[in-house]
């Protein structure tokens, strides 16, 4: 997929590489759980997939994110049984 401009359908969440490895081992379960959390707040945003860079997770969605959606996703990731001290809040690219 190619785009001509920045895609605001992504959330970037900086964290340590150890946490990224732990999170990506069960990323398919995390996608389901994040989508359920978004559904619980009656959002029509759906996370399509998650991929990782060296020091960050990138979550790709079907629509442009509102701040409430970003807060819900950041809260979920910080509480996903990892070392949450080095996980920063999510932001748009």
Considering its fold, how many domains does the chain have in total? 1
For a pLDDT cut of 90, what percent of the chain falls above it?
39
93 assigned to some structural domain:
no
Provide the pLDDT for residue 7. 55
Q: What is the mean pLDDT of residues 39-64?
A: 91
Q: What is the mean pLDDT of residues 43-65?
A: 90
Residue with tokens 């020091």: 55
45 assigned to some structural domain:
yes
What Å distances lie between residue 35 and 4, 15, 27, 68, 82, CA to CA? 27, 21, 12, 14, 19
5 assigned to some structural domain:
no
Is pLDDT of 58 > 50? yes
66: three-class secondary structure by DSSP: coil
- Report the alpha-carbon distance of residue 7 to residue 37 in Å, rounded: 23
Asked if 87 and 77 count as a contact pair (C-beta separation under 8 A), the reply is yes
92 assigned to some structural domain:
no
20 assigned to some structural domain:
yes
Domain of 65 in residue numbering reads as: 10-86
80 assigned to some structural domain:
yes
57: three-class secondary structure by DSSP: strand
């Amino acid at each position: 997929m190619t785009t001509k401009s920045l895609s605001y359908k992504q959330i970037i969440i900086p964290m340590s590489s150890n946490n990224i490895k732990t999170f990506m081992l069960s990323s398919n379960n995390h996608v389901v759980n994040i989508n359920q959390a978004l559904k619980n707040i009656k959002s029509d945003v759906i996370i399509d997939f998650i991929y990782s860079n060296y020091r960050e997770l990138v979550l790709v969605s079907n629509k442009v994110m509102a701040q409430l959606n970003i807060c819900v996703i950041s809260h979920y990731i910080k509480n996903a049984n990892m070392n949450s001290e080095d996980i920063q809040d999510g932001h748009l690219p």
